[in-house]
């Protein structure tokens, strides 16, 4: 079994850029996190985008859909910003059949000591191995389907609707 990992940016890949006093999307962090976890399941990583999810366009979502559709293989983990993750999951749900597509991200950058990134990536990695075909969001220890979840900004978590 091989997990195809696609990265799109989002908070999970942000770092604090001192000279501008802001956070910016940087290089994907998932490879380092999987190495540190000593993951032995075969995987590959492909960076598609380096964007905050609020900046993702319909063209960007079409790129993500095409990347999943055109990549041979059945199991995908997609790192994504949390603000529009459900929109992208919905686009994948509508356009791709016969593949497992699990989106995850984090509320804090992976480089932060208190980040939820490490847990969410591990959880999503396992989910991508076990779930039946479909599009899912793996956050906060739960699996959500597009159209039946929302991001609760005040609580900093996803929840079923």
pTM of the shown model:
0.92
User: Of the candidates 107, 129, 128, which has an alpha carbon nearest to the alpha carbon of residue 118?
Assistant: 107
What's the pLDDT at 16? 56
pLDDT in tens, 124-149: 999 999 999 999 999 999 999 999 99
pLDDT in tens, 50-61: 998 999 999 999
Spell out the domains of the chain, with CATH numbers in brackets: 2-160 (3.40.50.1170)
What's the pLDDT at 135? 98
What's the pLDDT at 26? 64
User: Of the candidates 136, 96, 104, 89, which has an alpha carbon nearest to the alpha carbon of residue 34?
Assistant: 104
CA 67 to the chain's CA centroid: 14
Q: What angle do CA 139, 131, 32 make, to 5 degrees?
A: 55
Contacts of 21 (CB under 8 A, 6+ apart): none
Low-confidence ranges of the chain (pLDDT < 70): 16-27
Q: Output the six-digit token pair for 43.
A: 């995987």
């Amino acid at each position: 079994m091989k997990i195809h990992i696609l990265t799109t940016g989002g908070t999970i890949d942000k770092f604090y850029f001192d000279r501008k006093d802001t956070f910016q999307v940087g290089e994907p962090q998932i490879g380092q996190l999987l190495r540190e976890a000593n993951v032995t399941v075969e995987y590959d990583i492909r960076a598609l985008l380096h964007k905050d999810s609020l900046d993702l366009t319909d063209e960007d979502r079409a790129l993500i859909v095409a990347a999943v559709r055109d990549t041979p293989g059945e199991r995908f983990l997609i790192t994504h910003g949390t603000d529009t993750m459900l929109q992208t999951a919905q686009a994948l749900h509508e356009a791709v059949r016969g593949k497992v597509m699990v989106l995850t991200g984090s509320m804090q950058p992976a480089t932060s000591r208190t980040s939820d990134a490490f847990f969410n990536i591990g959880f999503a990695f396992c989910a991508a191995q076990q779930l039946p075909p479909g599009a899912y969001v793996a956050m906060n220890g739960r699996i959500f389907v597009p159209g039946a979840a929302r991001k609760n900004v005040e609580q900093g978590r996803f929840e079923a609707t």
